[in-house]
Amino acid sequence: MRLMEGKCRIFFVLFFLLLPLIAKQASATQHVVGGSQGWEESVDLNSWASGETFKVGDQLVFKYSSGLHSVVELGSETAYKNCDLGTSLDTKTTGNDVVKLNKVGTRYFACGTLGHCDQGMKMKITTVAGNAPSTDSGAFTAHSFPRFLMFSPLLFTILFYFLL
């Protein structure tokens, strides 16, 4: 019985020590570029992007018709302004592409289909540090989960029981 009780204590201590790490990973937001319309010519992509907060750890998800569009990451603002696709850093073509936002800074994306960038199918985003306020919608999010647990009477009861 004593051995089982010790294992339970270890489990709960490890669980609550690892919980913030799990919650931080879960708090990353997936931004579907262009919202419900996706990566399309008819979407004002920069207007959509201006309503979002992109944080380190988040992901951009580009949804589009493969073969009709592509996603090209451009290396500079000059390349972005001039739709210079020849200086691209990366090109994606699956129609369901994910780009991880792994550092603070500005990134530039354009459609690689001839003429689409010149017609406005491009966007500029700025990624901020991971602790910036989120624009993610939804009443209960992974961001609020750890705060909920921190003030939970049940949490204090469990910790008190197993740590004493």
Instruction: Summarize pLDDT for 8-58 with one digit per residue, the tens.
Output: 565 554 455 444 544 444 568 999 999 999 999 999 999 999 999 999 999
| Class of the domain covering 27-151 | mainly beta
Strand order in the sheet with 30-32: 30-32, 59-63, 96-100
Strand order in the sheet with 71-74: 54-55, 122-128, 105-110, 71-74, 88-92
- Is the overall model pTM greater than 0.75, yes or no? no
Instruction: Summarize pLDDT for 108-145 with one digit per residue, the tens.
Output: 999 999 999 999 999 999 999 976 554 443 333 344 34
Burial environment of residue 128 by CB neighbours within 10 A (0 to 12, 13 to 18, 19 or more): middle
Residue 98 DSSP label: E
